[in-house]
Structure 1
Amino acid sequence: MSTTTLLARTGNAEWSRLWSVRSTWIFAVATAVVVLGFGTIIGYDVSDDPTGPGPDASAWDGGRFTAMFALFGVLAMSVVTSTADHGTGGIVPTLQWTPRRGVLLAARACVIVATMAMLGVLLVAAASVVVWAFRPSLGLPIGEGVEGLAELGFVYAAGALLGVGLGLVTRSTAAALVSVIALMLVLPLLLAQLPYEWSVSLSARMPGSGALFLIFGEGPHDDMTTASARLTLGLWAVALLVAGGLRLMRTDADR
């Protein structure tokens, strides 16, 4: 069997596995409720404001405030779906069915990353539409929406890749969730609050700071740019996926 055929077959199996895990549906529904709920709150607030937002504001700006909630849902789902069969022991029959571990790694990463990135983008777009429905005068400029959603798509794809990598490294849902929360939220904020230049610079090099900068345009260090934030987030995601892939291919699956 050719590698392409095997990859396609494994990708289809990974897609089925992804949506056969009950926790995927739970996290997806919970994330949707939170994101759309905050979109509704933001829409109601701007509709009730007589002065209204600034002249350059659009409904996309309101939807962007919900992007961080979508990111944490994406991260959690990526971790859970990448560690699920390690926790249940299902990874053993999975590797018996697909013994070429590189193919399994590629299929799993591609399916989870593509699905989670699309889910995050769709939820933020839906939240923006909700804001616009409350105050149509804000508008939904197509160009601004495409640019903003494309940026968020990169953030969600990199975040999902990071989650998959951590899941494969730790092979534990709890450990991977703690690690991803530390890297994306706790450590960047903690280091940024310390009264030392080195800690602020280190915070700017954490994946969470890169994600926050790309979402909100602000970071812990004045030298941060869109390019540096993308590079930081992308390098962390690739590095953790490589580490997870090496563990998958070089150690017993049930250890």
Structure 2
Amino acid sequence: MSARSLRCTAAAEWSRIWTVRSSWLLAGVTALVVLSISILVGLEAADDPAGVPADASAWDGGRPTAMFALFGVLALAVVASTADHGTGGIVPTLQWTPRRHLLLVARVGVIALTTSALGVLLVAGAGSVVWSLVPEIGLPARQGAEVLGGVAIVLAAGAVMAVGLGLLLRSTAGGLVSVSALVLVLPMLLAQLPYGWSQELATVMPGSGALFLVFGEGPSDDMTTTSARLTLAVWALGALLTGGARLLRGDADR
């Protein structure tokens, strides 16, 4: 795998993603939702300054928007990874890039990096919006690095998992349903069931790991930052291995 071939393939993947309307639409909707929520949070804090904790900062107001950014990143990653399977464009793609491992590396890298970077920028923007509305609470750089660093891990792992599921299922609808179930539905459902096994299972779902890294809370008191990161890494790697295996070994049009 030469560096030049990888650059050319990555450039082609970048063009494929950002020359279609759906990518811009998803990115725009995600930005609108994230920034709108940050405005509401900032206005609420400005209207009731007594209710703001003394040690709070603008990053605490921007932190909740990370989960909304996550769903936008997941949706964009799924759509970007499955679009050419739905249109049949994967066949000419593989004719131009017959070395499938090269396509896999470029596709996963470009989608995961661009979507997670977009999410981090939006969360950073959300914190800045809250600060502009409530300047007295401050926007400390050190806390910002910690918050955005944790958000970056969540978004990157989520994007890789979404791409892996997209490559595995080769269906936009199937990929969206799968990531929604793993990140939102199943963790909440399992955590509410009155069984020990359901509580334990909830802690190893990717959605629980994401919630813990963003908010510091999860369905179990036994969760730690290390366990949450490990959970996300395992899900991302598992999805990538299974989805990548299908791309490398399966028929492109099935």
Provide TM-score, normalisation by structure 2. Answer: 0.99
Q: Distance in 2 between matches of 1:113 and 1:212?
A: 19
Q: Distance in 2 between matches of 1:21 and 1:166?
A: 21
2:74 aligned with 1:71: no
CA deviation map 1:8-29 (0-9, x unaligned): 1100110111101211101000
User: Structure 2: which 5+ runs fail to align?
Assistant: none
Q: Distance in 1 between matches of 2:82 and 2:19?
A: 14
What is the match of residue 60 of structure 1?
59
Q: Distance in 2 between matches of 1:218 and 1:104?
A: 38
Aligned residue identity for 2:2: T
Q: CA deviation at 1:86?
A: 0.3
Q: CA deviation at 1:54?
A: 1.0
The number of residues matched between the two structures is 254
What is the match of residue 140 of structure 1?
139
2:23 aligned with 1:7: no
What is the match of residue 221 of structure 2?
222
Q: CA deviation at 1:211?
A: 0.5
Provide TM-score, normalisation by structure 1. Answer: 0.98
Aligned residue identity for 1:194: L
* Mapping of residues 1-255 of structure 1, within 5 Å: 3-255=2-254
Aligned residue identity for 1:247: R
Q: CA deviation at 1:5?
A: 1.4
User: Structure 1: which 5+ runs fail to align?
Assistant: none
Q: Percent identity?
A: 63
Q: Distance in 2 between matches of 1:201 and 1:21?
A: 42
Q: Distance in 2 between matches of 1:43 and 1:242?
A: 42
Q: Distance in 1 between matches of 2:18 and 2:149?
A: 25
SS of the residue 1:252 aligns to? coil
What is the root-mean-square deviation in Å for CA atoms of aligned residues?
0.7
Q: CA deviation at 1:50?
A: 3.6
Q: Distance in 2 between matches of 1:3 and 1:165?
A: 24
SS of the residue 1:220 aligns to? coil
Q: CA deviation at 1:251?
A: 0.7
Q: CA deviation at 1:3?
A: 2.2
**8 Å Cα contact 1:192/1:199 also seen in 2:** yes
